[in-house]
């Protein structure tokens, strides 16, 4: 990682004072030493690959040029996967993240949802028919679920697939304006196939949402097929490399076997046969949500923290001591208070993301064995954690941008790009408030079961356990003591939501309205539950870490900072009903401020351990060598507006 070029003296001094094994911490953040080694190997190959190194500067391209460059790199990604002999999804995700630094590939959904959809929803024959072609990039696909009028509410989707037993075909149709498929990545211009989610009708009866393989474009000419209207939805806040599209189907006929039939099927005569639980169709969605915590939220937090902390070590501003040397901005406690919690969030969500990956793999194995016992809990958990992690990421990336002052507003900082490409995760794969509501409802239902004598297990077990009446925090502020406080807060929030829900029912309100009126408390309960789960998982991961005492020590400091910062920023909930008193809250707050001092010597090393290359960060402010000012000047001179000193403007005539 170390650069041969001149390193800023302040930044080098920060690195020299670090007192832990940085390499071991990188392995923990990545999940394993083997993963780190493979990542570095691929980063080196891509950096040296003549087809990929160099290239146009993303920041100075138009939106159309960004898309064209994205298609170029996406085709090279497919080529390099074969050339480097990389076969599994982990390798594909990794290589894509290197080739597309803080950018979305126009073919992202090929890996994210199209192939997983085929493998998860298709029969073995269908997996051979389409899966092998998709993995070889002989067909390019997307996943078309969201519509113009409905997104997260799956039962509200309107696209229909009506079976015609006389032709043995399904007729796919967009019956209304609001039924047009809207937003799928790559749908506008790039892909030629789509897994289309539509309401299945046979013999006049609706059987709910099912998946259908639809070819949208001719494989030779790339022209849309008859019955298919497809296009780009237009400029967006970010994601300029992706042609998010729309799809309108006009009585499109597809063969019966184009319905993905792993879990259910339609026979030639129109008989509908359900093989397995309809909940199994959630598999692709669960897979994506389980990857968002690590692949999106953690990644954005870690990169934003790296940029802001390095720049704060290089930047000197104002005076602490009158007439003295300008201090590093990182020496201001207010700057530490902004940035160090973001570092702790990145390590916390990394631990949770790795944990979720293992949970999903276990669930997937269980499903193959016919066991769906974990499905409901993991669905609830991934709903909540997807929302909680991306919410935290959204605010924290903005905090990092603001902490860089005026230069943070420049695209040169890399922070606007991080925000633009990661913040859409707050609404794709489920709008966050809706996901919180789903998680909150499952918590209330679990509590009501516990009150009937059912023993809860897994992430909800604490809801049926007896808790202390008072917080145990004294002069010693520990993660264990605070974790009990987090459990109390979550338990109380769920109980409060349950009481409100039951009270509404007892008052004679309809069930649907009782849930709606309880909505705010359901969201608060879900957030408290997820906050507790993240802290617990982070603490347990440290106990299991294969690392030296020095690495464990800094991780424990970060974990305690995560815990204390969470208490101080949600103090009202912890003080409510007297579980924690104001004296204890003051102790927690004082301890948090001491932790800022403890973490300060290792701040730069902690973000260096994320191990991002300069190519990955795409940031002048976050450069590894810290040579910020000369490179800001070089960057500005690249602007096309500087090609001439006098610019002639033409008048644009309104159309």
Q: What is 325-341 written as a DSSP string?
A: PPPBGGGSHHHHHHHHH
Q: Where in the chain is the domain with CATH 2.40.110.10?
A: 118-275
pLDDT of residue 105: 95
Enter the tokens of residue 596: 């800022």
Is 160 labeled as ligand-binding? no
pLDDT tens column, 93-152: 999 999 999 999 999 999 989 999 999 899 999 999 999 999 999 999 999 999 999 987
Q: Which pTM value belongs to this model?
A: 0.93
Using DSSP's 3-state secondary structure scheme, residue 257 falls into helix
In 3D space, the residue among 343, 404, 397, 352 whose CA is nearest the CA of residue 102 turns out to be: 397
Lowest mean pLDDT among 57-66, 372-381, 463-472: 463-472
Instruction: Give, for 143, the enclosing helix (H) or strand (E).
Output: strand 141-144
CATH of 118-275, one of 3.40.50.150, 3.40.50.1980, 2.60.120.260, 2.40.110.10: 2.40.110.10
Contact (CB, 8 A) for 174 and 165: no
Return all residues near 270 (Cβ < 8 A) that are at least 6 apart: 163, 165, 202, 203
* pLDDT for residue 581 is more than 60: yes
Average pLDDT over residues 622-638: 96
pLDDT of residue 2: 45
pLDDT of residue 183: 96
How much of the chain is in helix, strand and coil states, percent to nearest 5?
Answer: 60, 10, 30
Distance CA 19, CA 26 (A): 15
Return all residues near 508 (Cβ < 8 A) that are at least 6 apart: none
pLDDT of residue 371: 78
pLDDT tens column, 280-304: 556 667 777 888 999 999 999 999 9
pLDDT tens column, 13-27: 999 999 999 999 999
* pLDDT for residue 655 is more than 70: no
Question: Is residue 641 classed exposed, middle or buried when 0-12, 13-18 and 19+ CB atoms within 10 A define those classes?
Answer: exposed
Question: Is residue 186 classed exposed, middle or buried when 0-12, 13-18 and 19+ CB atoms within 10 A define those classes?
Answer: buried
pLDDT tens column, 397-429: 999 999 999 999 999 999 999 999 999 999 988
pLDDT of residue 283: 62
pLDDT tens column, 545-566: 999 999 999 999 999 999 999 9
pLDDT of residue 362: 86
Lowest mean pLDDT among 238-242, 389-393, 517-521: 238-242
Distance CA 86, CA 93 (A): 10
pLDDT of residue 214: 99
* pLDDT for residue 1 is more than 60: no
pLDDT of residue 650: 67
Q: How confident is the model at residue 276 (pLDDT cuts 50, 70, 90)?
A: low
Average pLDDT over residues 488-492: 93
Average pLDDT over residues 34-59: 92
In 3D space, the residue among 256, 249, 260, 294 whose CA is nearest the CA of residue 117 turns out to be: 260
The CA-CA-CA angle for residues 629, 631, 634, to 5°, reads 120
Enter the tokens of residue 37: 């080694």
Average pLDDT over residues 614-621: 96
pLDDT tens column, 520-549: 999 999 999 999 999 999 999 999 999 999
In 3D space, the residue among 342, 297, 324, 283 whose CA is nearest the CA of residue 603 turns out to be: 342
Percent of the chain with pLDDT over 90: 81
* pLDDT for residue 509 is more than 60: yes
In 3D space, the residue among 293, 286, 294 whose CA is nearest the CA of residue 362 turns out to be: 286
pLDDT of residue 625: 97
State the chain's mean pLDDT as an integer. 93
Using DSSP's 3-state secondary structure scheme, residue 182 falls into strand
pLDDT of residue 3: 45
Length of the chain: 655
Answer yes or no: CATH 1.20.140.10 is held by domain 284-455+476-607.
yes
In 3D space, the residue among 606, 29, 93 whose CA is nearest the CA of residue 351 turns out to be: 29
Scanning 58-135, the segments in alpha helix (DSSP H) are 63-83, 89-99, 108-109, 115-121, 124-126, 132-135
Distance CA 308, CA 284 (A): 35
* pLDDT for residue 580 is more than 90: no
Residues taking part in catalysis:
429
Q: Where in the chain is the domain with CATH 1.20.140.10?
A: 284-455+476-607
The CA-CA-CA angle for residues 628, 630, 632, to 5°, reads 65
Is 146 labeled as ligand-binding? yes
Q: How confident is the model at residue 278 (pLDDT cuts 50, 70, 90)?
A: low
């Amino acid at each position: 990682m170390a650069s041969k070029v001149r390193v800023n003296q302040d930044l080098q001094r920060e690195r020299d004072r670090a007192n832990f094994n940085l390499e071991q911490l990188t392995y923990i953040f990545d999940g394993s030493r083997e993963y780190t080694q493979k990542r570095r190997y691929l980063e080196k190959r891509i950096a040296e690959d003549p087809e990929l190194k160099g290239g146009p500067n993303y920041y100075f391209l138009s939106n159309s040029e960004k898309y064209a460059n994205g298609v170029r790199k996406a085709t090279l990604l497919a080529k390099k996967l074969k050339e480097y002999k990389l076969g599994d999804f982990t390798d594909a995700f990794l290589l894509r993240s290197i080739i597309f630094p803080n950018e979305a590939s126009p073919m992202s959904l090929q890996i994210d949802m199209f192939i997983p959809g085929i493998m998860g929803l298709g029969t073995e024959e269908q997996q051979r028919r389409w899966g092998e072609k998709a993995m070889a990039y002989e067909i390019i696909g997307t996943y078309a679920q969201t519509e113009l009028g409905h997104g997260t509410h799956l039962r509200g989707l309107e696209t229909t697939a009506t079976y015609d037993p006389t032709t043995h075909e399904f007729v796919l149709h967009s019956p209304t304006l609001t039924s047009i498929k809207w937003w799928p990545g790559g749908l506008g211009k790039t892909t030629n196939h789509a897994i289309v989610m539509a309401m299945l009708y046979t013999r006049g009866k609706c059987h709910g949402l099912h998946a259908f393989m639809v070819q949208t474009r001719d494989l030779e000419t790339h022209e849309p097929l008859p019955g298919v209207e497809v296009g780009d939805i237009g400029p967006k806040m970010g994601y300029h490399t992706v042609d998010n599209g729309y799809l309108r189907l006009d009585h499109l006929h597809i063969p019966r076997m184009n319905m993905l039939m792993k879990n259910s099927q339609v026979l030639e005569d129109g008989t509908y046969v359900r093989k397995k639980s309809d909940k199994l169709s959630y598999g692709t969605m669960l897979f994506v949500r389980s990857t968002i915590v690590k692949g999106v939220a953690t990644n954005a937090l870690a990169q934003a923290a790296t940029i802001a902390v390095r720049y704060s070590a290089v930047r000197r501003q104002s005076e602490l001591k009158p007439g003295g040397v300008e201090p590093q901005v990182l020496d201001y406690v207010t700057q530490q208070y902004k940035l160090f919690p973001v570092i702790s969030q990145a390590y916390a969500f990394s631990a949770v993301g790795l944990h979720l990956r293992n949970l999903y793999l276990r669930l997937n194995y269980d499903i193959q064995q016919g066991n769906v016992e974990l499905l409901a809990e993991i669905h609830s958990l991934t709903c909540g954690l997807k929302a909680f992690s991306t919410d935290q990421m959204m605010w924290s990336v903005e905090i990092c941008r603001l902490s860089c002052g005026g230069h943070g507003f420049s695209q040169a900082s890399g922070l606007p790009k991080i925000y633009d490409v990661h913040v859409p995760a707050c609404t794709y794969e489920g709008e966050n408030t809706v996901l919180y509501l789903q998680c909150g409802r499952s918590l209330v239902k679990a509590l009501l079961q516990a009150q009937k004598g059912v023993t809860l297990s897994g992430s909800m077990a604490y809801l049926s356990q007896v808790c202390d009446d008072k917080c145990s925090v004294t002069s010693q502020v520990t993660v264990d003591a605070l974790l009990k406080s987090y459990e109390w807060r979550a338990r109380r929030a769920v109980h409060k939501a349950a009481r409100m829900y039951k009270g509404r029912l007892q008052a004679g309100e309809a069930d649907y309205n009782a849930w709606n009126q309880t909505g705010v408390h359901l969201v608060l309960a879900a957030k408290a539950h997820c906050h507790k789960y993240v802290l617990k998982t982070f603490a347990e991961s440290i106990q299991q870490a294969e690392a030296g005492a020095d690495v464990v020590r800094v991780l424990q400091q970060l974990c305690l900072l995560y815990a204390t910062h969470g208490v101080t920023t949600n103090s009202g909930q912890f003080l409510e009903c007297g579980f924690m008193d104001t004296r204890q809250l003051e102790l927690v707050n004082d301890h948090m401020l001491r932790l800022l001092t403890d973490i300060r010597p290792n701040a730069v090393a902690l973000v260096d351990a994320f191990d991002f290359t300069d190519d990955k960060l795409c940031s002048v402010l976050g450069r590894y060598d810290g040579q910020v000012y000369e490179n800001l000047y070089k960057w500005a001179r690249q602007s096309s507006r500087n090609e001439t000193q006098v610019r002639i403007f033409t008048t644009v005539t309104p159309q």
